[in-house]
Structure 1
Amino acid sequence: MNKYLRIFAIVMIAGLVASCSDFLEEDVKTQVSNERYSTPEGFNEAVNSAYSYLRTFYGTEEGLTATVFGTDTYREGADGDFKAMNRYSNEFDSFSYPIESIWRNMYRGINITNTVIARSEGGVEGLSGEEVTRRTAEVRFLRGHFYFILVQFFGPVHLTTEETEGVELEASRAPISDVYDQIISDLEFAANNLPVEPEQYGRATKPAAEHLLSRVFLTRATTDAAGSNDYEMAANLAETVIDDYNFQLLDDYGDIFAVGNEQNAEVIWAVQYSENSLVNGTPDHDLFRGGNSSHLYFNFPYDQEPGLFRTVEFGRPFRRFRPTEFTTQEMFHVDDRDVDSRYKKTFKDAFRVIDPGTYSNVDGVEVTFAEGDTAIWFPGYNMPLSEQQTYNMQVITPEEYNFINFPPLWKHTDPNRASVNETGGSRDWMAFRLAESHLIAAEAYYYMDGAGSPDAIAHLNAVRERAAWPGEEATMAAETAQLLASDGIDFILDERGRELLGEGFRWFDLKRTGKLVERATQYNPDTVPPTGGLEEFHNLRPIPQSQIDLTDGGESAFPQNPGY
């Protein structure tokens, strides 16, 4: 592994919301002395800084590129980089920046957690044993989290629990069974030693550790390292989170992502951001934009249309990630939208006029807009041109979607940015929420008990009934058993897609269920020739070439994943 000198820019960051100012205040230290970590202040600074490395993955270009691109739900739009990761073309190789960034930053986070754990042994003078144990549990939650991201992407990875105290050039790839054993050990320690309620919002908690552990068991069950009771453990832990704490599904799906409502009853744990850009950073994050940048990548160029110009409310009109036809027309089928509210509450289907006046439309016909009129409408279904022309607005139907025009995902919008050109967002990234706990339990019960599992159906219905328009709950629930029986895991994947679209799960979901190649090649045209070349070996990402080159013995000591 590419290890580094023990010189960190330790930043007191992990908390991350303005209401917790003591957790947000920075104390920037460069050239940190070895003794600093053994003081109460330095020990806590190191703990807090370890959280910041999750900001290199969640809500970032790198993390979203690695989890959204190249799946059945999203393909490439007109702008942006790293399209080879969507296509799985030859250009997607061991030099790919997002992959190298994820690898490097996860290991930087691991090294800080190892440092804290090493300094906790024997206690820290000036801190109670209880506080040292609690902080150690926090960083073991983080270390397990970092390794879980790595093992899903790369398979066998370098496994170290030792604090790095100099340049190390020896590394090897541990079996995934060893990596999973370490992840589970870390998360079990965290679950046993963390409080149910955080002392400061944003810190790891017992239910957060249990939720992540349920996801780990669900994932390990599909690997060569599978344990005999992995699905049972996944289901039990998910149900513990659902039943034993105060989390609850919000009544309205749209409220989950309402601006200003990030700390809601459905959120088990979130990666924290702040309106203060100074606390949103992380050391050495090469593509750091100063905050949650997810709002940038799912939009479309509305500002080029009559009656509109760029605003903070409507966002920067980047068009990086484009929904597949499968997403907009099959997963969110037009016939279901009067029953299931999630299409309407996931996509922005209309833009109102903010620049009134008279304009020539795309057909050369003059249209006059008053402020507040609808300028652009994505009806979500096809209609004859003659019908489109009866509307005093631009109508964009599915048959007209292309790499520029498509309905934008709206759950990441951030109107709190300081200006239209500000890229850094301040909204928390909801990493774990209760709907996913239900979906984890449903999948585990499906694999244990089959498509007729009443427990799987009950957990799916908890999510589906909440998603229903008022009065349609019974309609949603009535279909579940039949759909699960006919479509099996594909139905569960569709349900995860409707519920979790654009939230950084999809690539992991397809890989875990063995459906990456099947579903991506079926629904994402970019992944097949002539543009793409998705194959089974792409279920692992390439090991960064920098890692191989900096390891003594090169590829013989640290071999590349097959196919790259």
Structure 2
Amino acid sequence: MKMKYNILALIILLGLFNACDVDDIIPINELTEDNVVTDAASANALLNRVYTLHRNRESGSTNAVDMAIGFSVSGIDQEQRFRILPDLADFNSNSIKDDSPTLKDYYIELYSIINHANFLIEKLEEGVAVDLSNERSLEMQAEARTMRAMAHFHALRTWGQFYDRNSELGVVISTKPIRGAQDLPRSTVQAVYDAIITDLDFAVTNGPSNRERFYVSSTFAQALLGKVQLYMGEYAAAASNAKAVIDNTADNFELYTGIYTDIWAEQWNNAEVLFAPFANGRLNNEDSGEGKKILFGCKPSSVLQTIANNSTGADDANIDPRYFANFFEPTIKYPRNDAEEGNTYYYMRMAELYLIHAEAEIRKDGGNSTLALTSLNAVRQRQAMPDKSFVDKATILKDIKDEKSLELFSETGESWFDMVRYHFEGDIDALVLKQSLTDVNQFIFPIPVEAIGGNPALVQNP
């Protein structure tokens, strides 16, 4: 069922895109603000809309996917393969501009998720869904707050100086519905992190468990919390939360030890997947805009080939199998059965969480190298790669970064953010590693010109 909000219930995206017609954003229902949530069914419909915003563009690819490609080629282990995005070459050369259509659409997507979540949270807190139990209301608020936190986090690491908690250059925080044009300034980086942590703490306590993996859960919220804390430099907390999820047997998430490519063939049914949107267009009769095939415009660079060669631990013709399994046949990592409507996108997997734990453990004060290596080697063992052993802290950190490059290729652009984080930690010099990086200001992307024009309180990045 296609639904449409009128302007009262639809988001005008924080007033940031006032020049855009409301019909440019796929709306939900012909409803007023007063009746958008009146009972459990309508509350659930709005929550499902927040989910489908992660994967529903008519072009067949959410901007989360587009940005994963852009982030990936911004780093050093992936290069432009073909021009799937109009501005992909600008990402590849680290010269992206404020009129980038990919950045603009990503900004719209993230703040649309945030404001839809805000409307739902407000209505649930008001108790207007009278037939909804208090327990389920709290669970739904937790789901909405998890997705709001994730959107704020993705906005921060794209347009904010996420690596400096003392920086004034955070992003706009929105925790209340926007009902018209508003001038909203950027918050500090610390304030954005505080808002994210508050949402995720709530979600860990109140979120649902043992649901399909195309829904977020309290376990996913805790995994995301660990990732955010890693970015914050709160390494002890990050290690603790990551380890808690790894050791949690109640919610049926685990590091998958079967055939690597089955993780994607099984989509959200695979035990490794922490969150992957339902993507065949049939959930709650949503339109099939989210059902098209994901294609990737990036290929491995010589840097990744070297990492894959070194992964085997021997100077021979062998190479880490992930290099071939994932990179020369995009349909392997994101397969599509033509009998179905499409494939999904992975926001987080257990393998990443193991590597988050490994890095946080070795970076924290008094970190345990044995525990860090145990988590790192668990990911390597399922590829039949030899275990890494302790040499020194710097070597373990490099091994973890290389492992993430191999494991998460073309998924979340994580290798780009790792390069930025490692640069500011003093582990590498990104300006030496990539010739097109000549200034640290290139580590954050320009705020879209439309956002600046629609919100005079916004300050552009340097």
Q: Do these two structures clear the TM 0.5 threshold for a shared fold by scoring above it?
A: yes
In the superposition, relative to structure 1, how do residues 146 and 44 fare at CA in structure 2: closer, same or farther (>3 Å)? same
1:44-193 equivalent positions in 2, closer than 5 A:
44-55=44-55, 61-80=65-84, 81-82=86-87, 83-89=89-95, 92-123=96-127, 124-155=129-160, 156-165=170-179, 167-193=180-206
Q: How far 1:255 moved relative to its partner?
A: 4.0
Q: How far 1:8 moved relative to its partner?
A: 3.4
In the superposition, relative to structure 1, how do residues 280 and 453 fare at CA in structure 2: closer, same or farther (>3 Å)? farther
1:75 counterpart SS class = strand
> Is contact 2:152–2:196 with CA below 8 Å preserved after alignment?
yes
Q: How far 1:547 moved relative to its partner?
A: 1.3
TM-score where L is the length of structure 2: 0.82
> Is contact 2:63–2:109 with CA below 8 Å preserved after alignment?
no
Q: How far 1:519 moved relative to its partner?
A: 6.7
Q: 1:487 aligns with which of 355, 370, 395?
A: 395
Q: Which amino acid aligns with 2:174?
A: T
> Is contact 1:5–1:164 with CA below 8 Å preserved after alignment?
no
What is residue 412 of structure 1 aligned with on the other side?
Answer: 333
What is residue 24 of structure 1 aligned with on the other side?
Answer: none
Q: Which amino acid aligns with 1:544?
A: P
1:184 counterpart SS class = helix
Q: Which amino acid aligns with 1:50?
A: V
What is residue 309 of structure 1 aligned with on the other side?
Answer: none
In the superposition, relative to structure 1, how do residues 412 and 292 fare at CA in structure 2: closer, same or farther (>3 Å)? farther
Counterparts of 2:317 and 2:348, CA distance in 1: 26
Q: Which amino acid aligns with 1:157?
A: V
2:347 counterpart SS class = strand
> Is contact 1:238–1:441 with CA below 8 Å preserved after alignment?
yes
* Residues 415-472 of structure 1: CA deviation (Å, up to 9, x unaligned): 4136xxxxx962232322211111011000111157872111111111111221xxxx
Q: Which amino acid aligns with 2:230?
A: L
* Residues 13-65 of structure 1: CA deviation (Å, up to 9, x unaligned): xxxxxxxxxxxxxxx85332122223113222111111122226867552223
What is residue 323 of structure 1 aligned with on the other side?
Answer: 300
TM-score where L is the length of structure 1: 0.68
2:441 counterpart SS class = helix
Q: How far 1:189 moved relative to its partner?
A: 0.5
* Residues 283-308 of structure 1: CA deviation (Å, up to 9, x unaligned): xxxxxx643543x22xxxxxxxxxxx
Residue 345 (str. 1) matches residue 325 (str. 2): yes
What is residue 203 of structure 1 aligned with on the other side?
Answer: 215
Counterparts of 1:279 and 1:270, CA distance in 2: 18
What is residue 540 of structure 1 aligned with on the other side?
Answer: 444
* Residues 330-366 of structure 1: CA deviation (Å, up to 9, x unaligned): 444484774743334334xxxxxxxxxxxxxxxxxxx
Counterparts of 1:181 and 1:456, CA distance in 2: 27
What is residue 353 of structure 2 aligned with on the other side?
Answer: 437
Q: How far 1:104 moved relative to its partner?
A: 1.3
Q: How far 1:549 moved relative to its partner?
A: 1.0
Residue 561 (str. 1) matches residue 450 (str. 2): no
> Is contact 1:252–1:467 with CA below 8 Å preserved after alignment?
no
> Is contact 1:218–1:440 with CA below 8 Å preserved after alignment?
yes
What is residue 167 of structure 2 aligned with on the other side?
Answer: none
* Residues 379-398 of structure 1: CA deviation (Å, up to 9, x unaligned): xxxxxxxxxxxxxxxxxxxx
Q: How far 1:273 moved relative to its partner?
A: 0.7
Counterparts of 1:5 and 1:164, CA distance in 2: 11
Question: 537-546 or 208-217, which moves further after superposition?
Answer: 537-546
Equivalent pairs counted in the alignment come to: 418
> Is contact 1:249–1:266 with CA below 8 Å preserved after alignment?
yes
1:54 counterpart SS class = coil
1:502-521 equivalent positions in 2, closer than 5 A:
502-504=410-412, 505-514=414-423
Q: Which amino acid aligns with 2:54?
A: L
* Residues 191-227 of structure 1: CA deviation (Å, up to 9, x unaligned): 10112212x5522111111000000100111xxxxxx
Counterparts of 2:334 and 2:405, CA distance in 1: 19
In the superposition, relative to structure 1, how do residues 187 and 292 fare at CA in structure 2: closer, same or farther (>3 Å)? farther
In the superposition, relative to structure 1, how do residues 332 and 534 fare at CA in structure 2: closer, same or farther (>3 Å)? farther
> Is contact 2:423–2:430 with CA below 8 Å preserved after alignment?
no
Q: 1:240 aligns with which of 239, 244, 247?
A: 244
Q: How far 1:109 moved relative to its partner?
A: 1.0
Q: Which amino acid aligns with 1:465?
A: Q
1:94 counterpart SS class = coil
> Is contact 1:331–1:497 with CA below 8 Å preserved after alignment?
no
Residue 466 (str. 1) matches residue 385 (str. 2): no
Residue 254 (str. 1) matches residue 253 (str. 2): no
> Is contact 1:103–1:544 with CA below 8 Å preserved after alignment?
yes
> Structure 2: any 5+ residue segments left out of the alignment?
1-5, 12-26, 161-169
Residue 8 (str. 1) matches residue 10 (str. 2): yes
Question: 234-243 or 454-463, which moves further after superposition?
Answer: 454-463
> Is contact 2:268–2:275 with CA below 8 Å preserved after alignment?
no
> Is contact 1:59–1:429 with CA below 8 Å preserved after alignment?
no
2:423 counterpart SS class = coil
In the superposition, relative to structure 1, how do residues 66 and 232 fare at CA in structure 2: closer, same or farther (>3 Å)? same
Q: How far 1:7 moved relative to its partner?
A: 4.2
Identity of aligned residues (%): 26
Q: How far 1:481 moved relative to its partner?
A: 1.9
What is residue 402 of structure 1 aligned with on the other side?
Answer: none
Q: Which amino acid aligns with 2:460?
A: Q
> Is contact 1:141–1:187 with CA below 8 Å preserved after alignment?
yes
In the superposition, relative to structure 1, how do residues 35 and 183 fare at CA in structure 2: closer, same or farther (>3 Å)? same
Q: How far 1:100 moved relative to its partner?
A: 1.1
Q: Which amino acid aligns with 2:201?
A: E
> Is contact 2:75–2:415 with CA below 8 Å preserved after alignment?
yes
In the superposition, relative to structure 1, how do residues 32 and 322 fare at CA in structure 2: closer, same or farther (>3 Å)? same
Q: Which amino acid aligns with 2:360?
A: A
Q: Which amino acid aligns with 2:223?
A: H
* Residues 510-539 of structure 1: CA deviation (Å, up to 9, x unaligned): 223227996766565xxx3xxx45421011
Cα RMSD of the aligned pairs, angstroms, is 3.0
> Is contact 1:77–1:322 with CA below 8 Å preserved after alignment?
yes
2:74 counterpart SS class = coil
What is residue 303 of structure 1 aligned with on the other side?
Answer: none
Question: 267-276 or 457-466, which moves further after superposition?
Answer: 267-276
> Is contact 1:256–1:262 with CA below 8 Å preserved after alignment?
no
Counterparts of 1:60 and 1:241, CA distance in 2: 24
Counterparts of 1:452 and 1:191, CA distance in 2: 26
> Structure 1: any 5+ residue segments left out of the alignment?
10-27, 222-229, 283-288, 298-319, 348-406, 419-423
Q: Following superposition, which runs of at least 4 residues in structure 1 exceed 6 angstroms of deviation?
A: none
Counterparts of 1:336 and 1:280, CA distance in 2: 51
> Is contact 1:8–1:32 with CA below 8 Å preserved after alignment?
no
